[in-house]
Chains A and B, each alone.
Chain A
Amino acid sequence: MRTFLAAFAATTILAGAAQATTVYPLDRATILAGSPFDFKVELNKQVKPEDVKIMVNGQDYRTVLGGEAQFVELEKGKDDKALGSALLLRGLKISAPGAYKVEVAAGDETKSVTWNVYETAGQPKAKNIIFLLGDGLSVAHRTAARIMSKGMTEGKANGRLNMDDLDHLAFIGTSATNAVATDSANTMSALMTGHKTAVNALGVYADRTPASLDDPRVETFGEAVRRTTKKSIGIVATAEVEDATPAAVVSHTRSRNDKADIVGMLLDVKPEVLLGGGSAYFLGKEVAGSKRKDNQDYIKLFQDAGYKLVTDKNELAANASAEGNLLGLFHTGNMDVTLDREFLKKGTVDKFPNQPGLVAMTKIALDRLSKNPDGFFLMVEGSSIDKMSHPLDWDRAVVETIEFDQAIGVAREFQKAHPDTLIVVTGDHTHGVSIIGTVDDEKPGTEMREKVGTYAEAGFPNYKDENGDGYPDKIDVSRRLFLSANNGPDHYETFRPKLDGPFVPAVQNEKKEYVANEQYKDVPGAVFVQGNLPKSSESGVHAVDDVVLQSAGPGSEEFHGYLEQSDVYRVLADTFALGAKQTN
C-alpha cells in the first residue's frame, strides 16, 4: 500500500509539472485492437531527430508500431512562441491486445506511458445499439420529470418513467484530461472513442499547437462501425446536428466551434439517417441565414451523395419508410424546446412552425435503420435538457426530460420486437440542480420566497395530465416543484415558469461582466440572487458529479459499479465485437 501511495504521489507531481513531455495517447489510454489512432510526442526542447529514442515494450517503436514518425523540428504556439520538437505518426493500428509501455528519451527529457490495447468478444452480442444521451441529464431532472409527468400520492410515484425500468446501472465519471469539470464535447467524445480528452475537443487528443484540425486523432464509434461492419448509422438530435454531442459520433477537432468543418465530417462518414437542427452551416455564405464563411452548398453535396432532404414534420412523416439515406434539417439553429414548440408557441416557433419532436424523429430513424439486415447504431440526443439548464430554466429542462423519456419509450418498444438490441441511456454530465420542495401560490403574503415549502410544508405539486400525453396540461400550476441551482450568475429568481420564452438570467455590461437581467426585476415577488461564479459566467455550469447510466438488452450486463465515460465505449465495442481478431 505504501509503495502504491508513493507511486501515486510521484505520478501526481509529474502530472502537475508545468511543461512535462507529453505522449499521445496519454498514459493509461485504452485502445480498441485494430482501431486507427495518431501517435504524437511533444518535447519541451528543440532537439535533433537523432537525439530522440522511443522504445515500445523494450523494442524500437518502428518495429512495434509499424511506421516511422514524422519529425517536427520546432512546433510553434501563439505569436510564434517556440514550443519544442515533436514526433507524429498518424493512423497507426495495434492488432495484438496487451500492455504497451512507450518510453521516450530526448536529451534530458524522458517520459513513459502505458497503453492498454484490448480486444473484444469474438461474436457480437447484439445486432443493434440505441444509445440515448440526455445532455446534462441529472438526477433532479429525472425525479422532476417523474413527478411532473406521472404525479405522486402519499409519497409514492403514481407511475414510472421509461428510463426507470432499464435494469443495469452504473455511475459514470465525466472529468476531462485537462480539468475535473467537463463539457459535452469532451465527454461525448470519450463515450464515442474510448479515449478521454480535453474540454471542447472531439475525436482527438488536444495537442499544444493552436490549429484545431490537426490534433492527434482517435477513431470514433461511427468510423469503427463503418470500418468493421455493414451496419447503418443514425444520428438524431434536437440541437444543431453539428453541435458537440451529435458531432462526436464522427468528428475530429480540438474545437467544437468548427461547425462548418463538422458538416464536412458528417458527410465523410455518411450516417444513413441524420436528423436535427443546424441548417445554417449547410448553406453557402451568400444565403441569408448562413453561418458558413465559404460558399459550399452542403445541402446539395448531401443530395448528390444520395440523401433525401426533409425540412419539416410532414415531409419527415412522408419519408418514414422510404429507402435510401435521409437528411432531416428542421431549423437553422437549435430546434425549439418541447414547451415552446408544443404548448406555449414561444421561442422561434413562429418562424419554424412545423418542427418534429424527438419522439417522431426517433421513430422514423428506427423505421429506416431497421431495414438493414446487418443492424444499426442509433444515437439519440435529448439536447435541450442542457440548453435549458444553463439559463436555469428548470421547467423547460424538465419538459425536455419528459420528451427524452418518451423517446426512450420508443426505443423500448422497438426492443420488445427486436430483442437483439442494446439500449443505453445516460447523460454526458450533470448540472448543479436539486428539487427542494414546492412553490405554493396559496401560501399567505406577497413575498414569493415565503411561498417556498420545504419538508412537511412542501406538500405535493398539483400538476395534472388529463389528456394523458405524459406532459402536465399546465406548467404554471398553483403548487409547483421548486428546483434550485447551486451555482449561477447574478440573477432574479421569480419562482415561476417563464411563459414568455426561455429564461435569460444575466446580460453582459460594458466591463464584460454578467449582471442580473433586469427584465425580471419587476416580476412580483422576484428576489435578487447573487451569483457565486466569476462574473464572466453568463449562466449556470455543469456539475462534476457522476452521471447515472442505465441499460437493457444484450451486453448491458457489462454496465455496473463505477466506470469512466471512456469505459462505456469498450462495452459498446464489445457488444458489436468491433475489436474481434481480424481475419483479413
Chain B
Amino acid sequence: MSNSKIITDAPAPEGYSGEGFFATKLDSVVGMARANSLWPLPFATSCCGIEFMATMASHYDVARFGSERMSFSPRQADMLLVMGTIAKKMAPILRQVYEQMAEPRWVISVGACACSGGIFDTYSVLQGIDKIIPVDVYVPGCPPRPEQILDGIMRLQDLVRSESVRRRSSPEYTELLASYNIK
C-alpha cells in the first residue's frame, strides 16, 4: 500500500526534542494513539471464539493493549476479529458488519477456518473470509492459542502504528475496496 517502513520496536515515535518540547509527525502520533486503543469487534462463530474469550480473560488480558472494551456495535469498533467457520450463509452478515464499521478499520482473521475454510473444504463453508472482505493479519492455528491471537494483535499494532493518516483516502485503498465491491 505505502512505502513507509514498518516500525516494530519504537516506544516513542521519531521526533525532535528540545527544552520543554517534542516535535514529531502527525502520522506517528495518530498511529501511536490508534495502535494503543484498538477496539475489537469479536465476530466469533466457533472454537476460535472460545480461545478469544480466554484471551480476553484475566490471564492473557487483551486489555493490556488498550482493547479493554469489546464493541458489539460495528460503529464504535476499529478491529474486526473474525474467529471461526464462516458459512456461506453467514457471509453476507459478516460483510454487512464490516461495511458498517467506520474508517479506519482493520481485520484480523483468526484460525484456519476464517483464513481458508480450514478442514471444512465443503459446499457450505466460505473458503476464507478474504473472499469477501480485505484482511490485514492472518492468525494460523486450529484453534490458535491465546498467545497467537495476542501476537496477531501486536502485528496489527505494528501496521496501525506505521500507517499514514492519508492511506485511507489513497487511490490504492479505494481500488482495494472496489475490488471487494465495498463503497
Q: Do A and B come from one complex?
A: no
* Residues in B lying within 8 Å of A, measured CB to CB: none
* Residues in A lying within 8 Å of B, measured CB to CB: none
